[in-house]
Amino acid sequence: AQTVTQSQPEMSVQEAETVTLSCTYDTSESNYYLFWYKQPPSRQMILVIRQEAYKQQNATENRFSVNFQKAAKSFSLKISDSQLGDTAMYFCAFMKPTTQGGSEKLVFGKGTKLTVNP
């Protein structure tokens, strides 16, 4: 079974600064997806960024980028130029792709609560 570990329960950063959230995972699969989801207070979870394991290039989405180290099974999220609206719970998640019709359930870590201070 796959497991996802987020070792930082809480983090804080000053507005406009850069912060990195850590995530490690354990799997015997060679093909999989990794995700970072954001869950703002009292709002639904939204996808921030995703990475396909077969791609060596790290994914980027505007101010968000990842450092994917497949051999080390590490998948960290870097948020540049932090904004007050980035305050949220951030969850790292793993997904094993299946054949058509199969479940592609997500396995989540426990999350990191990020606070951006003005």
Report the interface residues with other proteins, using CB under 8 A.
4, 6, 33, 42-47, 50, 91, 93, 95, 97, 100-111
- For the chain, give the number of residues: 118
Q: Which is nearer to other proteins, 16 or 47 (CB)?
A: 47
Spatial CA neighbour of 58 closest among 76, 73, 71? 76
Q: What is d(CA 39, CA 92) in angstroms, rounded to the nearest whole number?
A: 11
**Closer residue to other proteins, CB minimum distance, 11 or 106:** 106
CB 95 to other proteins: min, Å: 7
What is the smallest separation between the CB atom of 34 and other proteins, expressed in angstroms?
12
CB of 45 to other proteins, least distance (A): 4
* Residue 6 and residue 39 in contact, taking contact as beta carbons nearer than 8 Å: no
- What values do phi and psi take at 75, rounded to 5? -150, 85
Nearer to other proteins, 28 or 99 (CB): 99
